Structures are given as structure tokens and as C-alpha cells.
């Protein structure tokens, strides 16, 4: 009975490795598309002109 118990350790490790490898090799194309779209929105926001005027410190009367 003890030998069968020791045999469960490598079998369990093999099952865990199989589950992990299937999770690691999953198709993740949707994440890249969403990240690229977010980066494009960020670039557009950074290229836009700001509507709030920034005060010039040289023209400050104080």
C-alpha cells in the first residue's frame, strides 16, 4: 500500500504539469488587441491640444 502511495506523487505531479502547460499555451490574441487599442487611445490623447491654458510663469505679476 505504501508503494502505491509513493506512486501517486509523480502521477499527481504529471497531472499538475499537464494542466499548467495547457494553461500556459492557451490562445491569448484578444489581450494583445485590447492592449494595442488602449495604447492607440493613449497616443491620441497625448497628441491632442490641451483645452485648459497653462499659465506662463514669466507673465506672473507676483
What is each CA distance from 41 to 13, 23, 30, 45, 49, in whole angstroms? 44, 30, 17, 6, 14
Residues 18-46: pLDDT tens digits? 999 999 988 766 667 778 888 999 999 88
What's residue 31's pLDDT? Answer: 63
Q: How far apart are CA 51 and CA 43, in angstroms?
A: 17
pLDDT higher at 3 or 13: 13
Please state the pTM of the whole predicted model. Answer: 0.44
Amino acid at each position: 500500500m505504501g508503494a502505491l502511495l509513493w506512486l501517486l506523487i509523480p502521477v499527481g505531479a504529471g497531472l499538475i504539469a499537464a494542466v499548467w502547460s495547457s494553461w500556459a499555451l492557451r490562445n491569448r490574441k484578444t489581450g494583445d488587441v485590447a492592449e494595442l487599442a488602449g495604447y492607440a487611445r493613449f497616443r491620441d490623447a497625448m497628441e491632442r491640444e490641451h483645452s485648459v491654458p497653462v499659465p506662463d510663469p514669466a507673465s506672473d505679476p507676483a
